[in-house]
Amino acid sequence: MVLMNAYQTIDVAPGGVVEAEIVVQRSRFLAQACRAQDEAAAREFIAAVAATHHDARHHCTAFVLGPAGEVRRSNDDGEPAGTAGRPILDSISGRDLSDVVVVVTRWFGGTLLGTGGLTRAYGDAASAVLDEAGTRQRELWQQVLVRASHAEAGPLENRLHRLGQMKDVNYGAQVQFKLAVRELGELDRIEFEHLGACWQDA
């Protein structure tokens, strides 16, 4: 088993959507891409696009999820088998991207494109939206909990901000800082509780 500590995704904030459109023989192909952390989120995005563009004939999709791209799905949505979902999936996989869902919505322009034409058009639309999105690296960091008295909290918080990404601060009887760091060794002489690994945008 290969341990991964980084992978590529699209450079879109979680919840954000990027779009690109191409026209092939008067058929319009609108490609939309977003990040998704799990299959439920991917399917939710697909359903939202289909509901928004309910007048379109096809909403062909593909997604790749997980740090190693272990979940891969595609759907031709009524187009001839292998002419839509597969080229979209190939566009994502060919760039070694993960946690990405792409929906290509097609409005028929009156001219039949044939299987080769459909395959090229769906692949080109997916490539266009992925080009528009760009890429971002995600890295495996370590999540920790650091506790401090209120008197120590101010200087410690400044130091912790320099060491990693602050996730949460809770002020109770003690101050609790939840943060992510690249390496546990960065917390030199700071007592902490290790909460496990987490994926962070680099």
Mean pLDDT of the chain: 93
Tell me the pairing of strands 27-35 and 71-75: unpaired
Which residues make up the CATH 3.30.70.240 domain(s) of the chain?
Answer: 138-201
Residues 48-68: what's their mean pLDDT?
Answer: 96
Q: What size, in residues, is the chain?
A: 202
Q: Where does the pLDDT of residue 42 fall: very low under 50, low under 70, confident under 90, or very high at 90 and above?
A: very high
b/e sequence 57-88, b meaning 16+ C-beta within 10 Å: ebbbbbbbbebebeeebbbbbebeeebbbbbb
Angle at 188 between CA 139 and CA 146, to 5 degrees: 75
Q: Is 25 left (phi over 0), alpha (psi -120 to 50) or beta?
A: left
- In this prediction, residue 202 has a pLDDT band, given cuts at 50, 70 and 90, of confident
Pair 182, 144: CB distance under 8 Å: no
**Are the CB atoms for 35 and 10 separated by under 8 Å?**
yes
The 10s digit of each residue's pLDDT in 116-148 is: 999 999 999 999 999 999 999 999 999 999 999
Domain(s) of CATH 3.30.230.30: residues in the chain: 6-133
The pLDDT value recorded for residue 109 is 86
Give the side-chain half-sphere CA count within 13 A for 168. Answer: 8
Question: CATH number of 138-201: 3.40.50.12780, 3.30.420.300, 1.20.1730.10, 3.30.70.240?
Answer: 3.30.70.240
Q: Does domain 6-133 have CATH number 3.30.230.30?
A: yes
| CA-wise closest residue to 106 among 91, 116, 90, 121 | 121
pLDDT of residue 200: 87
Strand locations in 153-192, DSSP E? Answer: 165-171, 175-181
Residue 54 to residue 13: CA distance in whole angstroms:
26
Q: Which residues contact 188 (CB under 8 A, 6 or more apart)?
A: none
Which residue has 């790749």 as its token pair?
64
Which amino acid is present at 118? L
pTM for this predicted structure: 0.84
H-state helical runs in the chain: 39-52, 85-93, 114-133, 150-163
